[in-house]
Structure 1
Amino acid sequence: MLRFSLLLLNLEEYYFEQHTAFHVQHQGSPEERKIRGSLKICSKSVIFEPDAISQPILKIPLRDCLKIGKHGENGANKHFAKAKSLGISLIFSQVYFIKEHNIVAPYKIERGKMEYVFQLEVSGKVEDVVETLLQLHRASCLDKLGDQMAMITAILQSRLARTSFDKNRFQSVSEKLHMECKAEMVTPLVTNPGHVCITDTNLYFQPLNGYPKPVVQITLQDVRRIYKRRHGLMPLGLEVFCTEDDLCSDIYLKFYEPQDRDDLYFYIATYLEHHVAEHTAESYMLQWQRGHLSNYQYLLHLNNLADRSCNDLSQYPVFPWVISDYSSPELDLSNPATFRDLSKPVGALNPERLERLLTRYQEMPEPKFMYGSHYSSPGYVLFYLVRIAPEYMLCLQNGRFDNADRMFNSIAETWKNCLDGATDFKELIPEFYDEDASFLINSLKLDLGKRQGGQMVDDVELPAWASSPQDFLQKNKDALESSYVSEHLHEWIDLIFGYKQKGSEAIGAHNVFHPLTYEGGVDLNSIEDPDDKVAMLTQILEFGQTPKQLFVTPHPRRITPKFKSLSQASSYNASMTDSPVSPGEESLKT
């Protein structure tokens, strides 16, 4: 059973290579024991995954290593000498124990000076592995984060330059190579470097480390939509969809050069041009106005156009709170008081809190902003999804879950905090209007901690008007497709994707966030100091990003506000025949 995942790495860390190895305990003594597993060499750590799931995964940060070398040389260890096999010795001050018995839980940490010895199955590789570890250790011990990243990037690029795509992986000997370049496959919180190759019939990605499989292959004939993406504030991303499901792509690639991204996009677009319909945000707006798109579908299309992707937690799709009543025994969707005011951002819904925020805003030096946190960020996304994505939360928070009282414990509590909290202005995510209610249920039986009142964190507490998690989602969907929301959704679109996102209109709408959250708010290429550049990028990605602005004039109202609820039809995700292309970052769909 494979327990390792890239989520065990630190943020901005790479997984380079793995070797079958034995963790030798009590070496040279009668109690000697060898635990077989996989030794993984990463840019900031060494990870050992035992074959036996009862044994914990070991993670040793390279910065905590005191000495790295070969064990068993010069007769220092007769056992290894007789076996003619050298071991790798790591002397360190801290080790993490992860997923013992394959249970996802906060990491256990042991501190103090220790030595671990690993014996490679192929002993001839010991010298190369030690040399690699010493090089990565030097990078990890540099004082400045920018210098660390620069050295690790140089090591990575050297490895990529010494390798190329394995043409034996082509599906057919008759395939004709069009282009090959270096890139990284993007998944939430982590990226995986490798080689991209495109032929006349297939798109391939070959990870440098062979994880999670040797090659990812996509048949060009199956591609339905492609989007250029902004990744890490740079025009380097490309996302490919082979289905009509706007939430799930087949691959997201981040290139090292914008030209490589653009060339690959152009090639796929040209391949598809005979059966592709191009659409702008305005064309989707017209479809929505006329009732050809549900509110849910329209919001998904706008999110896609605005660079929001489920593979990028700093730009995750954003959806509105639409219900404001979480206390009544029954939900009345015919009563306007049931709904949130969609003309205001979350931070402006409580007049008393807004008054305090505006007072601070007036006293603030330039550049002014009203809200000290964003409505969408990696932390907020995982706040909602921790029950189905616990390893993502542990990755983001260095092996820890959040405090039990700050967890997503109750719908009503979360809404109340968004109204009253001094720094809580978060909106929702698409999962609140989808079919799968698993994010509301602790089906993995995770130990998420004990609250101050003594109760354990378990399933999310639902409002009285919801009889089950599925019923809660169904009522949320009904509310999203209701007449009231259909009549007012354009007001929320103005705030998030439209003309009230920036400038004087944003000030008038009390919709001003930190300038760094907006596209173009900072030019990373103009920052010369690498340490400052890394710190700035990290701050922006953790804080959250405002979507790309799609509209610069007021969004029109819906012509058919009494849109038939798709809950009465086959699915809220009814497949569409059209797909978006934004004015700045194109997309194509068959």
Structure 2
Amino acid sequence: MAARRESAVRQHTFSLYNLSANEIYFQDYAILCQSTLNEDQKIKGRIKICSKSLVFVPNDIRSPMIKISYQQISKFEDSRKNELSLTDSTIVSSSNTNKKNSNSLILICSSVTLMAINGRIEPYTIIYDPHRFYFEFVYSNVEDCLSVVGQLYRSTTLPFPGQVMMIESIVQGRLKMLKFDLKQLKDLYEKILFEQDAYVIKPLIQNPGKCLLTNQCCYFQVLNNINEQQIVKYDLSALFKITKRRYKFRYIGCELQFKLTEQ
């Protein structure tokens, strides 16, 4: 009965529009969150790793989504409250690195942004007070998260051009490891004509992934899990217009328009 009640609770719908303009969402982890915002109660949810911020999305819609900008984070700590410092590759403990640490991370920030309070669509609430967050990872290791967060956190300390280049290098490195799932092809006898890393561009949004073109369909496999289906398929028989577009002041964009098909 408890499991049924928990599954029946409405959940937040995380969207790329919850992020800053052109901010990139990479991945997420299941965690238990304690903070001074919720009187240190443990709340189940997922932590979203993004290029400019961390976003905690609770399972219960009655708790708000919490956005923490990397620029507002003043300190990282491990479970023993040892301060974590940045190195060239990741965040490591400044002391007692050989001791076995619990699977958790503590951070202290100067301000937070509350979104979708009680599931309502309304202007975000920014709280300009120091807060402490304790993240306990459920299924994954905290080191996996720190290896990504460490690079993104360091990028915020760079000038804007350097920050853009560092984030772009992280994206390109992940795209190189992304392999298109050929089992998702519409037809076994489809002929692959083109495969390239690409971005889906929408107003205020850019979402990286891999584009695959065959003689029957155009596929796009996103880098993250923002959609229920990781691969989106467009049938070329419904294509009626192709337009060359500028992106980042270069003619490297392509807009495809498809006819709506009756379901």
TM-score, normalised by the number of residues in structure 2: 0.81
Q: Which residue of 1 aligns with 2:182?
A: 167
Instruction: Note the 1:276-287 alignment, pairs <5 A.
Output: none
Q: Does the C-alpha gap of structure 1 residues 136 and 202 become closer, same or farther in structure 2, counting only changes over 3 Å?
A: same
Displacement of 1:70: 3.5
Cα distance in structure 1, aligned partners of 2:32 and 2:187: 39
Q: Kindly indicate whether the alpha-carbon contact (under 8 Å) linking 1:72 and 1:87 is maintained by their aligned counterparts in 2.
A: no
Q: Which residue of 2 aligns with 1:206?
A: 221
Q: Which residue of 2 aligns with 1:529?
A: none
Displacement of 1:50: 0.9
* Aligned partner letter, 1:10: S
Q: Does the C-alpha gap of structure 1 residues 180 and 73 become closer, same or farther in structure 2, counting only changes over 3 Å?
A: farther
Q: Which residue of 2 aligns with 1:297?
A: none
User: Deviation per CA, 1:225-262, whole angstroms, max 9, x where unpaired?
Assistant: 22111223320211111127xxxxxxxxxxxxxxxxxx
- The answer on 1:235 being equivalent to 2:254 is no
Q: Kindly indicate whether the alpha-carbon contact (under 8 Å) linking 1:136 and 1:152 is maintained by their aligned counterparts in 2.
A: yes
Structure 1 runs (4+) deviating above 4 angstroms are: none
Identical-pair percentage: 32
Cα distance in structure 2, aligned partners of 1:133 and 1:47: 12
Q: Secondary structure at the match of 1:33?
A: coil
User: Deviation per CA, 1:360-381, whole angstroms, max 9, x where unpaired?
Assistant: xxxxxxxxxxxxxxxxxxxxxx
Q: Does the C-alpha gap of structure 1 residues 123 and 230 become closer, same or farther in structure 2, counting only changes over 3 Å?
A: closer
User: Deviation per CA, 1:443-491, whole angstroms, max 9, x where unpaired?
Assistant: xxxxxxxxxxxxxxxxxxxxxxxxxxxxxxxxxxxxxxxxxxxxxxxxx
Q: Kindly indicate whether the alpha-carbon contact (under 8 Å) linking 1:69 and 1:130 is maintained by their aligned counterparts in 2.
A: no
User: Deviation per CA, 1:308-345, whole angstroms, max 9, x where unpaired?
Assistant: xxxxxxxxxxxxxxxxxxxxxxxxxxxxxxxxxxxxxx
* Aligned partner letter, 2:20: N
Q: Which residue of 2 aligns with 1:52?
A: 60
Cα distance in structure 2, aligned partners of 1:73 and 1:169: 46
User: Deviation per CA, 1:179-235, whole angstroms, max 9, x where unpaired?
Assistant: 211011011111100111112211111110022231111011121222111223320
Q: Which residue of 1 aligns with 2:127?
A: 110
* Aligned partner letter, 1:241: Q
Cα distance in structure 1, aligned partners of 2:155 and 2:165: 9
1:89 to 86, 89, 106: 106
Q: Does the C-alpha gap of structure 1 residues 168 and 24 become closer, same or farther in structure 2, counting only changes over 3 Å?
A: farther
Cα distance in structure 2, aligned partners of 1:18 and 1:217: 24
Cα distance in structure 1, aligned partners of 2:23 and 2:188: 36
Q: Which residue of 2 aligns with 1:11?
A: 21
* Aligned partner letter, 2:73: C
Q: Kindly indicate whether the alpha-carbon contact (under 8 Å) linking 2:108 and 2:131 is maintained by their aligned counterparts in 1.
A: yes
Cα distance in structure 2, aligned partners of 1:117 and 1:233: 42
Q: Which residue of 2 aligns with 1:557?
A: none
More helix by percentage: 1
Any stretches of 5+ residues in structure 1 without a counterpart?
75-83, 245-590
Q: Which residue of 2 aligns with 1:61?
A: 69
Q: Kindly indicate whether the alpha-carbon contact (under 8 Å) linking 1:72 and 1:86 is maintained by their aligned counterparts in 2.
A: no
Cα distance in structure 2, aligned partners of 1:71 and 1:175: 52
Q: Kindly indicate whether the alpha-carbon contact (under 8 Å) linking 2:12 and 2:60 is maintained by their aligned counterparts in 1.
A: no
More strand by percentage: 2
Q: Which residue of 2 aligns with 1:269?
A: none
Q: Secondary structure at the match of 2:237?
A: helix
Q: Secondary structure at the match of 1:11?
A: coil
* Aligned partner letter, 2:33: H
User: Deviation per CA, 1:5-58, whole angstroms, max 9, x where unpaired?
Assistant: 1111112311111112221247xxxx7532111210000100011111111110
Q: Secondary structure at the match of 1:175?
A: coil
User: Deviation per CA, 1:405-442, whole angstroms, max 9, x where unpaired?
Assistant: xxxxxxxxxxxxxxxxxxxxxxxxxxxxxxxxxxxxxx
Q: Which residue of 1 aligns with 2:93?
A: none
Q: Secondary structure at the match of 2:32?
A: strand
Q: Which residue of 2 aligns with 1:23?
A: 33
Q: Secondary structure at the match of 1:184?
A: strand
Q: Kindly indicate whether the alpha-carbon contact (under 8 Å) linking 1:68 and 1:130 is maintained by their aligned counterparts in 2.
A: no
Q: Which residue of 1 aligns with 2:4?
A: none
Pairwise CA RMSD:
2.2
Q: Does the C-alpha gap of structure 1 residues 177 and 2 become closer, same or farther in structure 2, counting only changes over 3 Å?
A: farther
Q: Which residue of 2 aligns with 1:139?
A: 155
Q: Which residue of 2 aligns with 1:256?
A: none
Cα distance in structure 2, aligned partners of 1:178 and 1:73: 54
Displacement of 1:86: 1.2
Q: Does the C-alpha gap of structure 1 residues 236 and 69 become closer, same or farther in structure 2, counting only changes over 3 Å?
A: farther
1:197 to 191, 198, 212: 212
Instruction: Note the 1:375-524 alignment, pairs <5 A.
Output: none
Instruction: Decide which structure has the larger Cα Rg and report it.
Output: 1
Cα distance in structure 1, aligned partners of 2:220 and 2:62: 34
Cα distance in structure 1, aligned partners of 2:166 and 2:78: 24
Q: Which residue of 1 aligns with 2:236?
A: 220
